[in-house]
Amino acid sequence: MIQQGGSRFRRLLGGLLNAALPPHCLSCEAPVLEQGTQCAACFRKLTFAVAPLCRRCGIPLPHAGLDICEACDRRPPLYARARAALLYDDGARALVLPMKHGDRTELALPLARHMARAGAELLREADLLLPVPLHWRRLLARRYNQSALLARHLARLARKPSIPDALRRTRATRPLGELGAIARRAELDGAIRLAPRHAARVRGQRVLLIDDVLTSGATAETCAAVLLAAGAARVDVLAAARVPLRG
């Protein structure tokens, strides 16, 4: 009987479950109308990163007369543009930290939806989405890369390809003699490399790096250096949240 009316049975079961367990807020116990959303009080705690933003790194600017922050004016970052959905405050932490450390992987989709809005232009112009990699030891401990989860959802929402393991964390380095300035910097840092079998996928492409939290932007810059050295046409960065100051 279950096999015969499989989907009807699942729908019925879904309805019964919803009746038994009414949907509640992603961050607290308050009831909400739709599964996978936040209650009004928790939603109000989120601070969206809105204009005026630095056109390069995306940090909020004090007034609309500016279009670039002091740090980017002094030394432009290696990536073209970085954007984040949220400012990394208590409201954002309540979504990001449980996703990162608490196995609450269902939080990735609502965060990705916020990112899709904040990064609409970057997503539209991207050829390829790549998550910022996690070191394999952390990956073993955590069992998933939170940035790869976000990238998977964003790839589906924006209908763009994404390669979860193209970038890897490593410490190995190769001889620096023949490399240009950008490549050398990437190599010296040595923390991140592009998997050789994916190198051809990056050449000439506009790559959008996906990260959970942008802090100083140093990791994003290291990834950008690696990708530009491999021939990427441009690298943008889209994060769920960003620390509002650049170090």
Contact residues for Zn ion, defined by CB under 5 A? 25, 27-28, 30, 39, 42, 54, 56-57, 69, 72
Tell me how far apart the alpha carbons of residues 116 and 31 are, in angstroms, rounded to a whole number.
26
Q: Pick the closer one to Zn ion by CB: 44 or 142.
A: 44
Report in angstroms how near the CB of residue 32 gets to Zn ion at its nearest.
8
The secondary element (H helix, E strand) that includes residue 212 is: strand 206-214
Tell me how far apart the alpha carbons of residues 111 and 225 are, in angstroms, rounded to a whole number.
26
Report in angstroms how near the CB of residue 147 gets to Zn ion at its nearest.
21
Q: Pick the closer one to Zn ion by CB: 69 or 78.
A: 69
Q: Pick the closer one to Zn ion by CB: 57 or 150.
A: 57
Tell me how many degrees the CA angle 21-22-27 measures, rounded to the nearest 5.
Answer: 100
Report in angstroms how near the CB of residue 69 gets to Zn ion at its nearest.
3
Write out the two tokens for 101.
């450390």
Q: Chain-centre distance of CA 30, in angstroms? A: 27
Q: Write the burial class of residue 5 (CB in 10 Å: 0-12 exposed, 13-18 middle, 19+ buried).
A: exposed
Q: Pick the closer one to Zn ion by CB: 71 or 126.
A: 71
* Helix/strand/coil for 76: coil
Q: Pick the closer one to Zn ion by CB: 54 or 148.
A: 54
Report in angstroms how near the CB of residue 24 gets to Zn ion at its nearest.
8
* Helix/strand/coil for 176: coil
Tell me how far apart the alpha carbons of residues 73 and 246 are, in angstroms, rounded to a whole number.
12
Report in angstroms how near the CB of residue 225 gets to Zn ion at its nearest.
17
Tell me how far apart the alpha carbons of residues 58 and 81 are, in angstroms, rounded to a whole number.
7
Q: Are 223 and 167 in contact (CB under 8 A)?
A: yes
Instruction: Specify which residues 169 forms β-bridges with.
Output: 192
Q: Pick the closer one to Zn ion by CB: 82 or 163.
A: 82
Report in angstroms how near the CB of residue 139 gets to Zn ion at its nearest.
30
